[in-house]
Chains A and B, each alone.
Chain A
Amino acid sequence: MKSIQLKIWPEIENYCQALIPLQKIPEDKQNSINIDFSYAKSLNSSGLCILIIGLLKQIHTAPGRSWSIIEPVNSQITDGLKKLGLMEILDSYINVKTIFWSEAEKVDIMVPYSYLNSNLNKTISYPIYRLSYKDDRRGCIQAFKDWLFLILEPIFKTYHFPRSNFIAVLNELAKNGADHTVTDAFFGIDLMYLEGGSAVKLCFSFGDLGHGLNENVKLHLSNDDEYRNRSKHLSLSDAYHYALIPGKTTRPASKDNKGIGMSIVFDVARAINMELSVFDANSRAILTNAQDRTHAELRKVFYNTGADVGFYYYGEIISKVK
């Protein structure tokens, strides 16, 4: 039986992978699958994080298949894929046939990968961080915060970088993920030094293997008397508007969840001049462009992507040297 070639879009950078969905694997066949990285030409952690989530979702829909990886022609990309943890993560879900990685090459999440990016800026990318919610939700999020405090220390010391508030946004995204899925979440972060180091740009992506905010809100509202009839027809901006109403949560019975998560994400990201996008269903919203949380403002910041792109957050922030 002929293998299916799952061709990876050449740019594995920033949010590019969120806009180009992976080819859908037919669920009713048993063909083996080749993940084809042949002509991958650029790579960073935030881009790879989104790709990994997409791949893992495909793996869930096509269990029991035989998976192989076709190496990139560019050896620097091969090196980056190893150091950022692609193989280690895939290997923990499926047995992937490859000759370019062995167990001995496991990554240390404290060790960054340094290189010149496609714009020739000195860049430091950290290995993809995996949050496994099912073991210890609270401990897993605390470990994630502790790791962020450590890796961001050098930037915090040298640049006007709002470390704690930056981490606060990610903390809320992680908590939201933990509230809505028992699967894993993934995080990628890149530090690009601009103008000879006089500024630094941080890019990150975050996503999990759950349904995404839109689906969660719709599911929740289908059980709500006030919204039941409207829930099927809610637009994406309606769903996000609901999530941003003070105290609204899809976990009303939870003592831990006070319904403030999305308010913090929205307000803090705006306050620290982060540009935060969410990719959900057929849209991208640049949440931080909304001047307030009204429905009218939120509608302005949603853009149609033309295809279902999954569910990811992508953010950028630039800080100047002290």
Chain B
Amino acid sequence: MRKISISKDIGVYDIGKVREVETIISQIEISETEVQINLDECLIDYPATGKLMDAILSQLEKTGTDRKVLRIVYDCDLSEATLLNWLFLGSTFFNISEKKELGLDELKPAISKILSEKNIVVQICIQNFEGVELKNYSYE
């Protein structure tokens, strides 16, 4: 699995800044079918973070027809709905670019529909500052 830590490997802490996200996107080339993006110590914000997620998912999609995995590691134990909205708000990949914050009952089916079409699994792992895993969500 290819592992990328946005703060440690790329040195960016603010992925809510469109310019920073464009730099990250220009530096990441994904050819592997399994990728881990570590967002520890990063500031998430709309619309930049959604653009980053879209770019990573689009690259992953292009790696082929096999099953692909995007694992997102994050250090803030939010409710599942807030977490998904914050990461994917405004996503064109999931066809929710015009939507406001969604409830889980709408958001999960919207995400799963696209992921199953494209044979991608998204896993979100919440860990504390010591790296201990607290929660795990999976969507496909």
Interface mask (B63-94 → A, CB under 8 Å = 1, otherwise 0)? 00000000000011111011001100110000
Interchain CB contact under 8 A, B85 and A263: yes
Query: Is A230 an interface residue, CB under 8 A from the partner?
Result: no
Given the known inter-chain contacts A145-B14, A258-B100, please indicate yes or no for A267 contacting B41, CB distance below 8 A. Answer: no
Task: Please choose the segment from A91-99, A117-125, A156-164, A307-315 that sits at the chain B interface, where 4 or more of its residues have CB less than 8 A away.
Answer: A156-164
Chain B residues 107 to 135 lying within 8 A of chain A, measured CB to CB, are 129
Binds A, one of B30-38, B42-50, B54-62: B42-50
A interface secondary structure, majority: helix
Q: Which residues of B contact A260 (CB under 8 A)?
A: 46, 82, 85-86, 89, 100-101
Contact indicator A149/B14 (Cβ below 8 Å): yes
Name A267's contact: one of B17, B82, B90, B102 (CB within 8 Å).
B82
How far apart are B76's CB and chain A's nearest CB, in angstroms? Answer: 5
Residues of A within 8 A of B45 (CB): 168, 171
Chain A interface size, under 10 / 10 to 19 / 20 to 34 / 35 or more: 20 to 34
- Give A247 to B82 CA distance when docked, in angstroms: 11
Contact A258 B76 (CB under 8 A): no
In contact, A247 and B102 (Cβ under 8 angstroms): yes
Q: Is the CB of B85 within 8 A of A167?
A: no
A268 within 8 A of B: yes
Whether, in the assembled complex, B13 has its beta carbon less than 8 Å from a beta carbon of chain A, the answer is yes
Provide the bound-state CA to CA distance between A263 and B44, in Å: 14
Task: With CB as the reference atom, state the residue of chain A lying closest to B77.
Answer: A271
Contact A249–B100 (Cβ < 8 Å): yes
Q: Bound complex: CA of A246 vs CA of B78, how far in Å?
A: 14
A-B contact pairs, 7 of them (CB 8 A): A162-B75, A164-B44, A168-B45, A247-B101, A260-B101, A264-B86, A268-B78
- By a beta-carbon cutoff of 8 Å, the part of chain B in contact with chain A is 13-14, 16-17, 41-46, 75-79, 81-82, 85-86, 89-90, 99-103, 129
Excluding A149-B14, A263-B101, A267-B82, 13 further A-B contacts by CB distance (< 8 Å) are A162-B76, A164-B41, A168-B16, A246-B101, A246-B103, A247-B99, A247-B101, A247-B102, A258-B89, A258-B100, A267-B78, A268-B76, A271-B78
